[in-house]
Amino acid sequence: MAEINRSWVLVQRPVGEDFDAALKLQQLPVPEPAEGQVLAKTLYLSLDPANRGWMAGPTYIPAVPVGGPMWGGVMGRVVKSRSDKFKEGDIVGGFGSWSDYCVLPADQTNKIPDTGLPLTAAQALFGGAGGTAYVGTIDVGQVKAGQTFVVSGAAGSVGSLAGQIAKILGATVIGIAGSADKCKWLTDDLGFDFAIDYRHENVRKRLAEIAPNGVDVYFENVGGDVGNAVLANLAKGARVALCGLVSQYNADNNPVDGLNLLPVLLKSGTVQGFILLDYLHRLGEASSKLGQWLAEGKIKYHADVVDGLENTLTAFKTLFTPGAAHKGKLMVRVDPSAN
Amino acid sequence: MAEINRSWVLVQRPVGEDFDAALKLQQLPVPEPAEGQVLAKTLYLSLDPANRGWMAGPTYIPAVPVGGPMWGGVMGRVVKSRSDKFKEGDIVGGFGSWSDYCVLPADQTNKIPDTGLPLTAAQALFGGAGGTAYVGTIDVGQVKAGQTFVVSGAAGSVGSLAGQIAKILGATVIGIAGSADKCKWLTDDLGFDFAIDYRHENVRKRLAEIAPNGVDVYFENVGGDVGNAVLANLAKGARVALCGLVSQYNADNNPVDGLNLLPVLLKSGTVQGFILLDYLHRLGEASSKLGQWLAEGKIKYHADVVDGLENTLTAFKTLFTPGAAHKGKLMVRVDPSAN
């Protein structure tokens, strides 16, 4: 195996948004899989705001070790298997690293079936994005037909699916995003009822106009000013599915622009934090339903694909840039031959 | 009825903590009850942080009208009844005003039974304080034996009862209060396991020492820095019973020191806001249990009684003074002859 294995190594924990100092592209040996592992050639990486937390310290998983490759969701082609579960050539998805080659534990890795869809669908519709949108909307948000559903980070991988799921379930759906272009995409392409551009509109006032009876379910991805504007418009008994707080991920130990929960108190609301790891038992149903809705033309996904492992860092930083152009699921095509 | 009827009139909505400009003691005619109402001579007023909200604008109830008497929880003796439900001489509790005489709607007013206890028990143990502590701990917080329970505003009317209820239910109980004297009262008199003086101790670090496995249930009365310190110590699946945010009640429309919900997300926690009006059906059980626990010597209440309607405003302001001396239920004895 004389191949080059480039890898984004976490050389120090990030400070604020200085990811350039934290991550360096280095050449490492191609790793050897141990018993129960497979070696995969990376086809696609998934880039997500939550990656910032993994770099910074322990979250719901341990922190990425300084000096080692940055972790991430990957899809790859098995090139060496030391598990009965997989054979060479299998396309698999799991928890790998930002590298040309990843070693994956077989017991936590899944074979990606050939559905006839582009491979990007496995990360952009199914997988973590779709699973998170599904359980956040249904299990946590508990949205019902006729309710008003608001999602922030609406043009992102999870938000864009969450809004469409709520719409399928019969809710009036309002998305909040960071540009007129994204808002147009939400309403014209994805069928959201309304979209609010938080960088150019007063979210609190606009919501009060659009949803005079208040917001029944809020799928929260961002926090901060946007979060407070939505909370100020909650309906009695509202539910907040707390999925992300991307506005504060780069705050480190500095004080954050926290959320004013007085409306949650006065409206007898519930804020429920969740992570996908708590809902692994729901992923089968989620994939099945998402696939059905796709086939029925009720849901769309969008993979925003950046080519080249060397462009990973530049792409990652756009996740924290308000008004950045990307829509849907941000992915890096590591192997140019991947479909 | 040639009696004097003094009344605290809301002459303007409060700005920050300037209650002196908002409330003036005036002489008003003794009101006449309409059909279905009773006129009561006020014996006791209940003073509560929530009163600030009622002065400022609509909450879960409409705002107190400017130019009218300030509303409040009262106990009084019926002096004129225009309802079959009450007769002259009955001692009643309900929603009246900060006045020598109150008109009360019979259908929302309760007769206070003679239990042999001082009348103050009706507000300091039963009524709103006990009901809120009971449903907040049991229905909302859902505390279980063996769990770690934290309450802020622990020396207040609700907090002091909530901690004792959690203790009866088998939890390890930690109170957070604003002076060494209050902390001593919580541990030595009320049986809390630990107490933290937030004005002189680092709450976040102290909690990490006392509760290394994290906080399972947090009964939140204050918000702000104290709230954030507790949230930073949540256990997996923690529940937060959101009862009050007294640290921000005087903020009006200014930005508040909001809560960082990242730990709620990472720990899959739930924050549930509640108001007692949603739990009126639970008050019968609450009173029955509280009375039983009192008789068994398992729970104590403390009425902090200020004499004289004219001293209401001075007493009320102590509710927003960190480290103020009062403990338990703050009440004003309006009629000097009340027991």
Residues A29 and A166 in one domain: no
Residues A308 and A269 in one domain: no
Residues A212 and A224 in one domain: yes
Residues A84 and A20 in one domain: yes
Residue B88 lies in a domain: yes
Per the structure, the count of domains in chain B is 2
pLDDT digits (tens, 9 = 90+) for B16-69: 999 999 999 999 999 999 999 999 999 999 999 999 999 999 998 999 999 999
Band (B230; pLDDT cuts 50, 70, 90):
very high
Minimal Cβ distance to A258: which of B258, B273, B274: B258
Q: What does the pLDDT read at residue B249?
A: 86
pLDDT at residue B252 greater than cutoff 80: no
Using a CB-CB distance cutoff of 8 angstroms, which residues of chain A are in contact with residue B59? 266
| Contact (CB, 8 A) for B89 and B77 | yes
CATH value at residue A17: 3.90.180.10
Residues B79 and B141 in one domain: no
Band (A115; pLDDT cuts 50, 70, 90):
confident
Using a CB-CB distance cutoff of 8 angstroms, which residues of chain B are in contact with residue A224? none
Residue B212 lies in a domain: yes
- What is the token pair recorded at A83? 């598990």
pLDDT digits (tens, 9 = 90+) for A31-47: 999 999 999 999 999 99
Mean local confidence (pLDDT), B121-126: 94
Mean local confidence (pLDDT), B211-232: 97
Residue B338 lies in a domain: no
pLDDT at residue B253 greater than cutoff 80: no
Beta strand B5-10 pairing with A234-242: unpaired
Closest CA to B70 of B100, B94, B32, B98: B98
CATH value at residue B160: 3.40.50.720
- Compute the distance between CA of residue A111 and CA of residue A88 in angstroms, rounded to an integer: 12
- Compute the distance between CA of residue A196 and CA of residue A229 in angstroms, rounded to an integer: 12
Residues A177 and A222 in one domain: yes
pLDDT at residue B175 greater than cutoff 90: yes
> In this complex, is the C-beta atom of A272 within 8 Å of any C-beta atom belonging to chain B?
yes
Residue A31 lies in a domain: yes
Please tell me what DSSP assigns to residue A270.
E
Residues B98 and B174 in one domain: no
The more confident residue out of B255 and A195 is A195
Residues B117 and B132 in one domain: no
Residue A338 lies in a domain: no
pLDDT at residue B322 greater than cutoff 90: no
Residue A307 lies in a domain: yes
Neighbouring-strand partners of residue B67: none
- What is the token pair recorded at A308? 């080249």
Band (A2; pLDDT cuts 50, 70, 90):
low
Neighbouring-strand partners of residue A292: none
Main-chain phi, psi angles of B170, to 5 degrees: 100, 10
Q: What does the pLDDT read at residue A186?
A: 98
Mean local confidence (pLDDT), A241-247: 95
Band (B2; pLDDT cuts 50, 70, 90):
low
Average pLDDT, chain A: 95
Altogether, the residues listed in chain A come to a count of 339
Q: What does the pLDDT read at residue B115?
A: 84
Main-chain phi, psi angles of A240, to 5 degrees: -115, 115
Q: What does the pLDDT read at residue A4?
A: 87
Q: What does the pLDDT read at residue B82?
A: 97
Main-chain phi, psi angles of A142, to 5 degrees: 55, 45
Residues B131 and B118 in one domain: no
pTM above 0.90, yes or no: yes
Using a CB-CB distance cutoff of 8 angstroms, which residues of chain B are in contact with residue A242? 261, 264-265
Q: What does the pLDDT read at residue B255?
A: 75
Closest CA to B173 of B140, B135, B216, B213: B216
Residue B20 lies in a domain: yes
Identify the domain containing residue B153 by its residue range: 127-279+287-293
- What percentage of chain A exceeds 70 in pLDDT? 99
Residues 6+ away with beta carbon under 8 Å from B250: B14, B16, B17, B52, B320
pLDDT at residue B81 greater than cutoff 70: yes
Mean local confidence (pLDDT), B77-91: 97
- What is the token pair recorded at A317? 């930083």
Mean local confidence (pLDDT), B249-278: 91
Residues B195 and B55 in one domain: no
State which residue of chain B sits closest to A279, comparing Cα positions: B268
Residues A102 and A184 in one domain: no
| Contact (CB, 8 A) for A74 and A46 | yes
Residue B239 lies in a domain: yes
pLDDT at residue A122 greater than cutoff 80: yes
Which of A152, A265, A282 is most worth mutating to test chain B (most B CB atoms within 10 A of its CB)? A265
| Cα Dmax for chain B | 64
| Contact (CB, 8 A) for A261 and B271 | yes
Q: What does the pLDDT read at residue A1?
A: 47
Residues A329 and A188 in one domain: no
- Compute the distance between CA of residue B102 and CA of residue B78 in angstroms, rounded to an integer: 9
What Rg do the C-alpha atoms of chain B give, in angstroms? 20
Minimal Cβ distance to A272: which of B256, B270, B278: B270
3-state secondary structure B67-87: CCECEEEEEEEEEEECCCCCC
pLDDT at residue B254 greater than cutoff 70: yes
- B266 and A242 in contact by Cβ < 8 A? no
> In this complex, is the C-beta atom of A274 within 8 Å of any C-beta atom belonging to chain B?
yes
Altogether, the residues listed in chain B come to a count of 339
Q: Which alpha helices (H) appear in chain B, and where do they start and end?
A: 19-22, 50-56, 121-124, 127-135, 157-168, 180-184, 203-210, 224-231, 262-266, 283-295, 312-318
pLDDT digits (tens, 9 = 90+) for A48-97: 999 999 999 999 899 999 999 999 999 999 999 999 999 999 999 999 99
